[in-house]
Each structure stands twice: as structure tokens, then as C-alpha cells.
Structure 1
Amino acid sequence: MPPSRPSPKGGRSRAVKAALDAWFAARGWKPFKFQREVWKAIADGRSGLLHATTGAGKTYAVWLGALQAFARARKANANARPVAEPLTVLWLTPMRALAADTLRALQQALEALGAEVHPWSAGARSGDTTSAERNAQNQRLPTVLVTTPESLSLMLARADAREVLGHVRMAVVDEWHELLGNKRGVQVQLALARLKRWNPGLAIWGMSATLGNLREAMHALLGHEDGVLVQGQVPKKLVVDSLLPGVAERFPWGGHLGLTMLPQVIEEIAASSTTLVFTNTRSQAEIWYQAMLEARPEWAGLIALHHGSLDREVREWVELGLKSGELKAVVCTSSLDLGVDFLPVERVLQIGSPKGVARLLQRAGRSGHAPGRPSRITLVPTHSVEMVEGSAARTAIAAGHIEARHSPEQPLDVLVQHLVTVALGGGFVPDELYEEVRGTAAYEGLSRENWQWCLEFVAQGGPSLAAYPDYKRVVPDAEGVWRVPDARLARRHRMNIGTIVSDASISVQYLGGSKIGNVEESFVARMKAGDCFLFGGRMLELVRIHDMTAWVRRASGKRAAVPRWGGGRMPLSNTLADAVVQQLAQAGEGRYDSPELQCVRPLLEIQQQWSALPTPQTLLAETLSTREGSHLFLYPFAGRHVHLGLASLLAWRIAQHEARTFSIAVNDYGFELLSATEVDWPALLPQVLALPQGEDAHALLLHEVLASLNASELAQRRFREIARVSGLIYQGYPGEKRSSKQLQASSSLFWEVFRKYDPGNRLLQQAEQELLSQELEIGRLRASLERIAMQQLVLKPLARPTPFSFPLMVELFREKLSNENVADRIARMVEQLEKAAGGAVTAGGVERVKGTLAFGQEGPGKPPKPVSQRRDRRRPSRPSRPLPPL
């Protein structure tokens, strides 16, 4: 076993350092202060967290520190070809798409060392690794291995895991912010605790560019170990501007403005060398790519599409095209958010709100991805109020306000999976493993009772499953070491390791041709042979579905659906929401200081004339009576998840006084309650907004929230994911893919069995806790109620819908009416409201509304027309107005 810590004096080879210094100098680089701090900390055997802007040189800070600390100089008289060092550095990346790019960056520094050091080898291991390369790695792992959390867990499940991984002296977690707030981050914490048990001197380093709670993030990474927090303050010019429409509509509705901005977007792309066009959903990416190609057909081959559902070969082709500068623009999603180094990228466009400051910063960093190069991101609003978000985001960045991310607390499904993994990787003694697990931030408060329950669960599946041998996954041997006794169960566990749970996917493949990618089964299941859909930038016709594969051929001239993937609606973050309210308060004082506020000023002035503008000190509520009934509009600015919980809670509390039925609509700014009968809102509202008081206030609020929703159905949906992670249900073996219906039926069966025969099952409790904390964001909901209690209620009776209430009314229309009826209704309302505001609806307003619904980015309804059949060729009425650099 190598020494546990590098020696501060003798551990670094002068030859290695000299070679790396020469490599830096040859490129005209000088190490930044933060890079030298990291090099010294690693040489001193310290662990830590490095936080620096995107493109500042974080990778080289940690990687060159590792080389200087661990690489040994080659002996001058060595004649025989030396064997490469064993696995020494483990480099974790959140996305397998980043593994190859990260590996190339690490290899460049290795090549610079040449003959100066004892040879190091480098490799990557992820779901994209070929079987040949995987087999070679099974014989001998490289000195530095770039891998993912899932692949690391698979390695921990090897019988020789300690022998293979016991030489690791340093573990690096790239883009820690991307893992910290979810179960994959917990999976990483458990894996690092296992590595640290085998090598107590293990150095652990995390890297991130967008974290607001650095100390907490470092604690989650290092557990109880003290670490070094290094912040890289590198001067970097950041430009955050907005692409503004010629005229901001005063009565907007969600998503309606998107493709009307296409001409301006095309002009911006044409004026730049290489541009990334980020969208928030894969469906939106497909639509924008098609629209851009229709607008500029001569760009075929120069623009591309990139998202996670496309085949790996397609994604790699796009990434190489970006690196070489051959592509003019790429329409993408979060699949290109992280780490990949595209130096030629000059501009980043963000379609719609980024929903958070951290996400905006991350995407901005994709341009000018090198020290000293400016980064620029331009926001393209799809809703008039999103222009306020652009101004708010720039203000939040200037103030250094970035969202915090928190590690999940004690997810038992992840722990159960880890127990089986460790049992496969050599076995465990319960008391020893308990202390190891409690060394992580996620489980530092794990009680003996919960630990014992987890042991019993992997031993027999709990009391309700004790009779079934498939759930006797881990049992103690004669020496008290817990192991997996059945090779079949071991194989099944290895095939289903991981915490990423999504709808079952179906491969999309040409008849007799190549694979294009994957779509969710729930989308394809609604289609029949002959139906068409847009995917991978192509119009495809479904021929048949067989063996979990959708066989397709090229099509044209037909109406096409656009696949919908889960996770499409991200809520507005607290940080950005608070900044938006501050901007609205400034507008209320007559201060329209930014170009965005100037552009949206007509809307805000109408809102102020007919009602009021929200401020941090006030809660705006509006009431309106129409033929549909009695409307309440409330604007807490807390994000759509919290607004759903608040709206349901208020409706439930009102119904306790008098039986009523409410329709609910929510967006990121507020929510609407609609009752068919008259409601005395001034009298009821102060009562139903009150926060429970007393010692049991928190428990009472939880009870009310759960009672106000179909909590059982929502919790059951969460339980499906928990059942999958904990190993109760599994995806199947290779060639034996199980459909989502099979998985759903299996999880529903376990749900009912546990509720009936094992009501104290911890996984049932976890499903309810995750529902409250993640889907309903109960902490944020409670904080919103506490803030509401401190605010002055401003109740405004309306004569007609305001610019803020109008989009909420449209949300309800979409639920109740067909596309054609919605288009007619919206167009009539816009015309009436514009006349009341002293304006007139533009010519072709009805046709414009119908066209937007047919080819919109949100909202249900009939599938859109293919782009080739659209005739809209509008150009901007005036040029876009970029903002000055930050």
C-alpha cells in the first residue's frame, strides 16, 4: 500500500514541477494565486473545495496539484519499460458526456511530462465505455480514472473492490454543485466514505463555479474532516444582456413570445462566429432547431441539435464540431451545461427564463471558456414579464447572490442500495459500517433504529416480504460478515445500481439503419403507426414498436407531435424571485433603470393603474367577478411548486368553512383560485393565510398540506422511484427491458402490501417526506407563509384582468378548452383589454394567437404543424438592444 499522505518536502518531484512549469510557460500561462493555493494544500495532504468562475482553470489547479504531489520521477538508469502506476487519482464527473472531454484535458498535462516521471496512464469508465476497453480495465485500471458516481458504485460492488480501489490517494468530484442537492450526491458521499476507510489518508477535492453555501457544500463533500476552502477570484468580464422585442405586449401569456423572437435570434447568430442556444426542455430544443433551419435552410450542416436523449454518437459529433469551430450554432439543453470546454463559442443565448442565477452563470460560462476571455449570455424572453427576470438576474449577480444547494437527509433507499453494494464488494461488519456511514453529512444523524431497519430490510425485505427468497439479499456468514449469498441476486443488483430514475425509454431507430436516440415510453405509447413526430431535428414517421424499439422512417408534409420529457417545468428560485420583486418595487417608484424595465414599462404601468405592483413589504391580491365565477389572484412570487401547495391549502381551508369547489392555476409569480359561486375574499383571505401557531404548528401545517392534496397518489408516485433505488423493483437484465407499466404495477403492489401489512415501513415514510420536501417544497412553503404574515395585504378588486392575472386565466382556459376555442377566447380578451388600456390589438392578432398555440413551447393541445408549412416571416420592428457589460 502506498503512503497515505504525500510528504510536503519529498513528495513533489523537482523534475515533475519543472516539466509542468515549462508546459505552462510554453502556452504563455502564469499560474493564478488560487491555483498555487490548491497545489500547496494538496502537497500538504489537505482536502478541500475549490470555487472559481467557469473557465478560470479549476481543472488544472487540482490536476497539476495531484501530479506534483503523487507522480514519481523516473529513475535515470531505468532500462526496462516500467509498468504504469496503479489507480491513484479517481476523477468523478456528473455526466458521462463529460468524461471524454475531461480525459483529454488531463492527458494534455500528462503528455507534457514526457520522460520525466514514472509512467502514468489515463482512462475513462462510464456507460459509454466500450466492452473492449472495459475488459482491459478489468485486468488493470489506469493511474487516473475519469468516471461517474454510478460506475464508481459498480466498482465498489466488485469482489476485489478493496484491492482495486485501495491504492486511490486522491478523489476529485467535478461540478460538485450538480450532485450536491440530489441522491447522486449522497451516493458519492457513501462511496467516498468507503474509499476513506480503506485509505484514511485519502485526499478529497471538489470543484464548482456556482454555489451559494460553500461551507455547507464542503461539509457535505468531506464529512467530518476539516478542509481548505479556496475561492478563485479571477478577473473575468461577464456580459448579461437581453434580446428585447420591438414592442412588449401588455397582456402576455406563458410561452407565447418564444418563436416571435426567431428573427432577432437568427440575426444574433449570424453576427457571431459560434453560438450556443440553450433551452430549458428537450421539446423546446427540437422546436427551435426546426424553426431556425426553416428560417435559414442554407445553415443545414452548420447548425446542430444536442440533448440527452440523442444517441451518443450524435452528441459526440456535435461536441467535436463545436470544438473545431465548424458549427455556427447548436441548440441544446442542460446536456451542455457542464464542464465541456468549447473555446470557439463566442455567444450564449438563453431561450426563456433560466429560472435561477446559478444556472444562468453556468450557461454564461460556456462562452469565453478560458481565463481572460469574456463570457456573454443573452436572454431571449418568451413572456413579457421574463424581461424583468433578466434585469433581476443581472442585479443578483452583481450583488453575489447565488442559490444554495442542500444535501438530502438520510434517504434510506440510497442507504439500502449501498448496503447491498458493499456486501458484494467484500462484505461488511454492521457496527463498522454504521460508523463509516455516520461519517457522511447525509447520515450523520442516522439513528440505530433506522440502521437496524435497513439491515432487516436487506436481510428479508421487512416483515411483509420475509417469505420471499428474492428479498433475502444480504445475510451474515459464520464470521459475522454480511454478504450476498445468491449469484443471481448479485447480478441483478449490479445491473440496477444508481439513483437516476426516469420513465422507461424506448430506442428510436431507422428501419434497417442507425439508432437516433431515446424517447420516453409514455410518449410513444400514445402513438399509432403512421403518426409523425419531431426528434433529433428530423420529421419521423412511426412504422411500428417492437422489443422496446420505435422503428421509424423519414417523413415530410404531415402534422407532427413533439416528444415531451419529464422535468420540463423548473420552478423559479427564491434568489431570482426576490430579485424580481425588488425590480417591480423600483418600477412602482417610477425607476425604470434598465433596458428591460424600459421595454416592459407599458405593461407595468397598466398593472399599477388597474391594480398595484408587488413589493417586498406587500402581498398583492386581486379579485374579479366574471361569468365563470369568483376569481382570486395572489402573487407570493415563490415558484410554481410552492404556489400549487399554497393554492391547494387555501382552497382546503376555505372548504372547511363552507363546501366549495375551486379550479386552480399556477405560474412562477402567483396562482388563481376560481369558484363558481361568490366568495367574500376580503373576509376570508386574512384567515386562510394565517400560519398555524403553537408547539404543534409544524405538524399541523404538514397535516393541512397533505389533506389539501391528493397526497396518497402523489406519495405513491414518489414511492415508485424509491422502490427502484432500494431494489424492490428493477429495470431488468440486458435484453429484458421492462416497460413502465410493468414497473408501475410492481411498485403499486408493494405500496399496497406495505400500507396493509407493514404500515411502519420506512420507505413509505420516506415517500411522504420527499413529496413534502421536493415536490411541494414544504420548507419554502412555510417560509412563504411566514413572510406573508409579515407583509401588508393589498387587496385590489378588479374591473377587468390585469397584465399579471391574464396569464393565469389563460392557464385555466388551456385546461378546459380545445386549442381553437382557446385561441379565439384569448384573441378576443386581448383585443378588449388593449382597448380598455387605450391601445389596439395589432392586425392578425387572432391568427397570431392560433399560430402560437399550434407551435408553442408550453401548453397542451394539438400537435404543431411542421415548420415547412408555416408562413410567418415576421422581422423585428426595431433592432434588439443589448445591455452594457456587468
Structure 2
Amino acid sequence: MSAGVDALERWFAERGWRPFGFQREVWRAWSEGESGLLHVPTGLGKTVAAAGGPLGAAVEAPEDDASGLRLLWITPLRALARDTETALSELTAGLGLDWRVERRTGDTAAALKRRQKTHPPEVLITTPESLSLLLTETRHPRIFAALDTVVVDEWHELLGSKRGVQCELGLARLRTLRPDLRTWGLSATLQNLHEAQNTLLGPGAGGRLVGAGDDVPSGAIELRTVLPDPAGPDRFPWAGHLGLRLLEPVLAELDAPGTALLFTNTRSQAELWHRAIVEARPDWADDVLLHHGSLAREARTAAEERLRLGTARCVVCTSTLDLGVDFSPVDRVIQVGSPKGVARLLQRAGRSGHRPGGVRRIVCVPTHALEIVEFAAARTSIEAGSVEPRHPLVGALDVLCQHLVTRALGGGFTRAEIAAEVRSTRAYRDLADSALDWCLDFVTRGGATLEAYPRYHRVVRAGDRFVVESRSVARRHRMSVGTITDDGQMQVRFLKGGRLGRVEERFVSRLSPGDRFLFAGRELELVRTRDMVAWVRLAKGRKARRPVPRWAGGRMPLSTHLAEAVAAALSGSGSQHTPEMAAVAPLLEVQARWSRLPGHAHLLGERHRTREGHHLFLFPFLGRAAHEGLAALVAWRLSQRAPRTASVSANDYGFEIVSPDPLPDDPGEWVPLWSPDRLIDDLHACMNATELARRRFRDVARVSGLVFQGPPGRPKSARQLQASAGLIYDVLARWDPENLLLQQAHREVLDHELEVRRLREGLERMTALPPVFTTPPRLTPLAFPIWAERMQAQVSTESWVDRVRRVAGRLEKAAGTAGA
């Protein structure tokens, strides 16, 4: 495709650029019929690299210009789809191609979607869900008849999730239709590249792995942490205690020329910081915007457009702007709170300096003192080029059942056809015949237990083919396609006006008419709720208490990778010469003086005696989710030795067990309590895994089609969905305990909620380390935040804050000024 490459070279030259070596390598690999994975830093031109092959070939063979859909671009985010549409439209026009570039997402108008089915564009940008919906069309083989390239953008974001499995199944269908299909994945932050490529292309498919070459400017990362004044942070931190105390230095950052993205880890935190900035600087009210997943599409689109134009001073956002949206005017990124992972921090830093050789500037704002250590550990990992791996999911039968109905609806299949197709994916390469037959039986008659209910007879067998004949089944299935589940979202709407977005039903259920809350950057007053809609109006006057909606997923656990780096930093074996570690030196001095520092050669435990009873704090550094399971496990095993009452609490660094009865003094007596033996059985006994599985089953039932979440705009409440799924769970648990979806729910509880793999690895490491117990005179800087977590569960928010502050003050006084 020399003529096509020449056209691409001219397009670059007209803009004063030159193609990088990795771009030319991808174009060459594409022309040789290869697929692959492109892994280069953000802002270097992955889009042009991936699209250049098919577009260059079209320049070389213009007679094939109008042959239908040629390039399918799959993206995980709608916002990214809009940006990609702009970039590809500019590229096709610059190459002189008369190609249509269109989007197909949930935001696309129905009329355009209908036209795309009969007259598809040459380039279509879509999401995994919209691809599955296209596959439900009986004409879908004609839609993809000319397809020669699929690009999966931000593959690391899909990898390791059910959306990634859904994408694998969609790609397998496209490869069945087009055996010579070229597939390319794009990513910027991945560690396990070969595993990621193998998942994208299918086991044993082979392919080209392309990275940045020597001609690519490295693009420095400028990471700076805002440190509390005057002499450093408090030595006894607790979650969120710095909070908005660092607002002034953040305002100083925003005073600088240019545009900033201020990332928070939760939507609640985004609302609070947006409000605080606007209240502190009212003259910025029109230039400080808000962006998170629960806001109405119009509000998110407006913020994105202001970013593109460079007319916003700051956008306060969450992970909705993590991915590769090209906002070139962004000069700096501010990260409030630990990102809990190195890859996430790198991804967010890459939103600034979004150009070759650009400096990626990120300002880190801790919300408590130990997060300063997390930023130091992240800096060390970034400098070493080390990030977290993302492992793919395997064997998700709820996704497979959904796909079987999709394929039956889209023209049908034989058993042999579907077996070969799904086994060409990594997710189902080891799918047993018995499991496939079970899934086919499930979608045709609901399985043995639900056979008496016609609503579960979705697929029928016509000869040797499985098809969908019912229009109502087709309609319900198309409204249910996808693997994204939520916890009962209610619309928020003005009495007179438009939609503001969505909040969780749980939050609204605690409010009464007249109560106020912050949402979408406004102070609102609840008027009434009806049919999953919270009707509101702007609040007048001021009240002291303005709660902020809390959404599920707000407590992200520290990644294993970053947790290990934090442990190394605290032990003095890493990050010790960074500004962050210098700032927390007073905290570490008190920890060493009263107890000792954690280390890789021992497991630190601290014993305390208070009016509450006997305490043991352990610091394995496994992350919150694993510590919650570990604390319950150790407490339960302790109670099996002798009847006792014990309560537990945990954070990312360790956990606490407290009992009114004396706890064993000898560290050797504790070691068997964290043995990995009988781990699964003991977790089931101590964690009420049955109830956890019942709640998890709701999502499995929704994805697999056992429960219907309702039509768009009129969804069932979370309570209704949980009740429906709970009834089915009870029936299956009693009459069909070997049901594979039931087993999947239990497996997901262990894998995702209790993180059994991480827990088992942690237990094995703990067992190999000699325990070192100390008896500090008071709560240490590492123990204090775990104690504070437990206190929060026992008292109201206001009382908790006051009590924790009082105790922290007494500890600061007792620590004195030594080392400060």
C-alpha cells in the first residue's frame, strides 16, 4: 500500500508532523494481514496508527470506497466515541476519502440507527453493548459483509470485566463471518501484554505486539504532591481528615493559566470539591464544571465541549474522563485522594500534555497523611516502569447465556457452530460440553427447575437450529443486552425543567420531602418521589446540613501492586528519598518509637488494652477487601478455639480484632489462625457467604436474562430486582443446588468480593513471615486509622468526627515534639 502510505505521510507533513516508527509498523503489519496489540503512552497517535492501514488501502483502491462497513471501532465510553468520531472524520477528509464516519451508542438517534442497518457507514464507532445489539439483527451478516478491520480502543479498560467477555464473544462472531478480519487493540497502561493480546485475538491466533520505539519522545511525568503546612501532616491520620483543608493550595493551582482536570475517586467527593471551589471563588462559577457518570448526558457533553475549546478553567470529574479523550488544552491534572493504583494514576496523568513530547503534569492532593506515602510509592513504581496487570475473566456463563439468545435472535445457530465460535475465545476455550449443553437448555426451557414457566422459554429449536420466534422475547432481550449493572438508580428531575442525572435509590429513600442535598453542582430540595424519579427544585436560603449522594463502589481497595510498594516505602526500602517521605518522617518516627516499622522480613502486630477490651492490630498490606475477609476469618477461627465475642475493622494497610476477653499473647498461637488450609470452607462459615451470594445473584440473573430490569425510562427498583432474584435464588438453592448460575454467583463472591486469590497469596506470605508483636503505650499512627474506621460504624457522623479529633489530639500531645 505504498500509495496509501504516501497519502498518510502527506497528511502528516501538511500538519508539520512526521509519523513515528510504531505508526509505520502498524500500517505495514495491517497491509500484511496481521492483527495485534498497540501499546504506547497516551497522546502519541494510536488512533492514526490503527486507522491508517484500512484508510490508506482505501486511498490506494478507491473503487472499493462505497462497499459498506469497512472499519469497526469499539470503545468502552460514549464520550470517547464522540472524540474518536471527530478524529477519524478529520483523517478521512484529509486523505480525500468520501467515507461516512458515524457513531452508534445509546445516545444515537433512532432514525440514524435504522439507516445504519440498511446503509452502514464505512466507519462505525460503537460500544460492546451496541455491537451485541447489531448481532441480534437477522441481517447482521450483510451489515458486516465488507468489514476488514476491527479496532478495540482502551483494551485494558475492558480486559478483566464482563464487558470484555462480551467483546470477546462479539469479535468471535465477526471472525466467523469474516475469517480474514484484522483485529487491533489499543492500550497505554498494561503490564501483562501477551496475555492481553491473547485474549483480544483468541488463543493461539498469534499477532504483532507493537510498542513505542526509540524515535518516540518519552514525555516526562511531572508528579508533585501538595503537602500540608506548616511542618507536615498530622501524625495520627484518619480517612478523609485532611479533606478540604488543602483547598487553598488547590485554588492556587487553578489560578495558573490554562485548563485543569481535578479527579476524585468518587462522585460524592466530586460534588463536594466542585461546591467548595465555587463557594471559595464565586467569580469562577461559570468556568468550573462537573463531570461524572450520574449526571445527565447534556451536562457531561457541555463540560467535554468546554474542555475541547479550552474555555473551562477546571472540570471536577471522576473516572468518566480517565480514558483517551483528546483534550489537548488540558495543562495539568489534579488528583484528590490516592488513586489506589499506579495504572490509574498514569492514566489520569496522561490527560495532560496530550501530545508527542508533552509533559504530563499531575498534582497529588492527599486526603490523609498515609496517602502521602501512597503517592510516594506510586512515584517510585512509575519511575521503575511498573504497573498492575489486568487478568481476563473466564467462564462467565451468565454472559454466555445472554450471547446465546443474541445469536439465536440474529438468525440462529446450530450447536456445532456455536461451540466452535465461543471456544475460539479465551474466556470459553475450555468450555465443557456439559456446560454448553446446560446453557442451551437454560435458554430454551429455563433448565429443569424453571421449565414450568413459559417466560423462560426464550429460544426454540427448529430442526438442528436454535432461534428466537417470539417478538416479546426479542423486545425484552434487546432492552436487556449488556453486562453493566447498578444499585437501583433513580432519575433526578426538576419540577419545571430537565433531567439532572441519577442517584442511588438507597440515598433518596433516606430523605423526606423538604430535605436538601448537593447534586450536579447545585443545592437541591426534594419535593417528592414517584416511579423511580426524584422530583426536586433549587433550594432557597441556607441550611447547615447538605448531604451528598453516596454511590456504590466508593471504597476502592488499594491494588496489590501499590500495597506492596507502600509497605516497602514504610519499611524504608523504597521511596525514602522522595519529598513525600520526608513530609511523613514525623509520623514514622512516632511509629518506630512506640512500636516499630513494618517490613518485608516480619509481620507486624500491635497489642493494646483499653476500656473496650483487648486489641490486636495486624499489618499484612493486602488491601481493604482482602483485610475485611481476613479479619472475619481470623476472628471466626479464634472463636472456634474457645467461645468469645470479637469485632473487627480493616483498612488498606491492616485490620483489628478486639474482644472483651484476653487475646493470646504468644505470636505462635496466632500463626495457625492465618493458615491457608480450609480457606474456602472457613470463609463460607464466617462471612455469611450465602447472603453475599444471594445479592451477587441479582447481577448474574439480570445478565443471564432470569430477571428483567424494565424498559428504558421505567426501570424496576433495586428492591424489586433483589426480591425477584432472591425468590429465584431460593428456588434454585432448594431444588437445583447444582445450577451453574448459582455456582457462578458463589464463585464471584469469592473471586471479586472476598478476593480469595489475593487472600490466599497473602495468607501464604503471612505464614512464611515471623510475627513480631509489640505493646505500644497508645494507638500508633498505623493503628489509629483502623480504630477510627470501627468508631465510624458505632456512632453518628458528627459524633464520630468529634471523637476521632479529640483522640487524635491527645495522641499528638502524647507524641510530643521529638522528631517533628
With normalisation by structure 2, the TM-score equals 0.97
1:457 correspondence with 2:442: yes
| TM superposition shift of 1:767 | 0.6
What is the match of residue 127 of structure 1?
106
1:614 pairs with 2:598: yes
How far the C-alpha of 1:73 sits from its partner, in A, is 3.8
Q: Distance in 1 between matches of 2:248 and 2:812?
A: 25
Output the amino acid matched with 1:510: F
Using the alignment, how far apart are the partners of 1:228 and 1:47 within structure 2? 6
Give the alignment partner of residue 295 of structure 1, picking from 280, 284, 289: 280
Question: CA shift at 1:580, angstroms?
Answer: 1.0
1:561 aligned counterpart, secondary structure: coil
Aligned-pair CA distance for 1:130: 1.5
Match of 2:25 in 1: 37
Conserved 8 A contact 1:13-1:73: no
- The range that moved more, 17-26 or 652-661, is 17-26
Deviations 1:258-294 (A, max 9, x none): 2111001111111241110000000000000000111
- Quick one: which of 85, 94, 106 aligns to 2:76? 94
Alpha-carbon distance in 2 for matches of 1:86, 1:367: 37
Q: Distance in 2 between matches of 1:683 and 1:329?
A: 52
Distance in 2 separating the partners of 1:681 and 1:47: 60
Q: How far has the Cα of 1:486 moved from its partner?
A: 1.1
CA shift for structure 1 position 792? 2.2
Does residue 1:562 correspond to 2:556, yes or no?
no
CA deviation vs aligned residue, 1:612-636 (integer Å, no higher than 9, x gap): 1111222111010000011111111
Query: Within 2, Cα distance between the matches of 1:277 and 1:441?
Result: 37
The answer on whether the counterparts of 2:527 and 2:536 sit within 8 Å (CA) in structure 1 is yes
CA displacement at 1:435 relative to structure 2? 1.4
Report the Cα offset of residue 645 of structure 1.
Answer: 1.0
SS in 2 for 1:463: coil
Alignment CA distance shift 1:51-1:735 (3 Å)? closer
The partner residue of 2:565 within 558, 579, 582 is 579
Task: Supply the distance in 2 between the matched residues of 1:63 and 1:258 (Cα, whole angstroms).
Answer: 44
Cα deviation, 1:681-718, whole Å, max 9, x if unaligned, reads: 425653334424xxxx4xx2111122111111111111
Instruction: Write the distance in 2 (CA, Å) between the matches of 1:200 and 1:782.
Output: 42
TM alignment of 1:432-831, pairs within 5 A: 432-478=417-463, 480-556=464-540, 557-558=542-543, 559-586=545-572, 592-682=576-666, 685-692=669-676, 697=677, 700-831=678-809
Q: Which residue of structure 2 lines up, in the alignment, with residue 152 of structure 1?
A: 131
Write the distance in 2 (CA, Å) between the matches of 1:139 and 1:653: 64
In the alignment, residue 560 of structure 2 is paired with which amino acid?
A: N
Moved more, 827-836 or 226-235: 827-836
Which one of the candidate residues 223, 226, 231 is aligned to 1:243?
226
Displacement after TM superposition at 1:85 (Å): 3.1
Matched, 1:408 2:386: no
Q: Secondary structure at the match of 1:816?
A: coil
**Which residue of structure 1 aligns with residue 208 of structure 2?**
228
SS in 2 for 1:385: helix
Contact 1:632 1:681 in 2 (8 A): no
User: Larger deviation: 789-798 or 616-625?
Assistant: 789-798
- Structure 1 residues 407 and 60, CA gap change in structure 2 (3 angstroms): same
1:343 maps to amino acid: S
The gaps in structure 2 that reach 5 residues or longer are none
Match of 2:405 in 1: 420
CA distance in 2, matches of 1:148, 1:352: 30
Cα 1:410/1:666, change in 2 over 3 Å: same
Q: Which residue is equivalent to 2:92? A: 110
- Residue 667 of structure 2 contacts residue 771 of structure 2 at CA under 8 Å; is this kept in 1? no
Q: Which amino acid aligns with 1:111?
A: A
RMSD: 1.6
The Cα of 1:13 is off from its aligned counterpart by 6.3
Distance (whole Å) between structure 1 residues aligned to residue 751 and residue 309 of structure 2: 44
Output the amino acid matched with 1:277. L
Pick closer, same or farther for the CA change 1:766–1:660 going to 2, 3 Å.
same
2:117 and 2:143 in contact (8 A); partners too: no
Post-superposition offset of 1:820: 4.0
Q: In structure 2, how many angstroms separate the alpha carbons of the residues matched to 1:455 and 1:594?
A: 58
- Distance, in Å, in 1 between the alignment partners of 2:287 and 2:608 is 51
Name the counterpart of 2:363: 378
**CA-CA distance at 1:37 after TM superposition:** 0.8
CA distance in 2: counterparts of 1:737 and 1:279, whole angstroms:
29
Offset from partner CA, 1:722-767 (integer Å, 9 cap, x none): 0000000011124542121111110001000001111110011001
Distance 2:294 2:25 in 1: 40
> Per-residue deviation at 1:587?
7.0
How many angstroms does 1:47 deviate by?
0.4
The percent of aligned pairs where both chains have the same amino acid is 52
CA contact (8 A) 2:637 2:673 kept: no
CA distance change for structure 1 residues 540 and 616 in 2, over 3 Å: closer, same or farther? same
SS in 1 for 2:572: helix
State the distance in 1 between where 2:143 and 2:377 align.
50
Instruction: Describe how 1:859-878 pairs up with structure 2 within 5 A.
Output: none
Residues of 2 paired with 1:736 and 1:372: CA distance? Answer: 49
Deviating runs (4+, > 6 A) in structure 1? none
Task: Name the counterpart of 2:262.
Answer: 277
Distance 1:624 1:120 in 2: 71
Question: How many residues are aligned here?
Answer: 811
1:195 to 163, 166, 174: 174
Q: Evaluate the alpha carbon distance shift between residue 708 and residue 101 of structure 1 in structure 2; reply closer, same or farther with a 3 A threshold.
A: same
* Pair 1:74–1:763, CA change in 2 (3 A): closer
Contact 2:568–2:599, Cα closer than 8 Å, also in 1: yes
Helix, strand or coil at the partner of 2:190: coil
1:228 and 1:153 map into 2 onto residues whose CA distance is 27
CA distance in 1, matches of 2:772, 2:65: 75
Q: Which amino acid aligns with 1:670?
A: G
Q: Distance in 2 between matches of 1:611 and 1:554?
A: 53
* 1:350-389 map, 5 Å: 350-389=335-374
Does the 8 Å contact 1:689/1:785 carry over to 2?
A: no
Secondary structure at the counterpart of residue 465 of structure 1: coil
Q: Which letter does structure 1 place at the counterpart of 2:552? A: G
Q: Structure 1's 681 and 90: CA in aligned 2 closer, same or farther, altered over 3 A?
A: farther
Closer, same or farther: CA 706–110 of 1 in aligned 2, 3 Å: same
Letter in 2 for 1:255: G
Displacement after TM superposition at 1:526 (Å): 1.9
Question: Aligned to 2:666, what secondary structure does the other structure show?
Answer: helix
Indicate if the aligned counterparts of 1:535 and 1:562 stay in contact, CA closer than 8 A: yes
Provide closer, same or farther for how the CA distance between residues 678 and 274 of structure 1 changes in structure 2, counting only shifts above 3 A.
same
> 1 CA distance for matches of 2:713 and 2:248?
46
Of the candidates 35, 38, 43, which is equivalent to residue 47 of structure 1? 35
* C-alpha deviation, 1:84, in angstroms: 3.1
CA distance in 2, matches of 1:829, 1:306: 37
User: Letter of the aligned partner of 1:585 in structure 2?
Assistant: S
Question: Which runs of structure 2 are paired with 1:150-189 in the superposition (5 Å)?
Answer: 150-189=129-168
Give the aligned residue type for 1:61: A
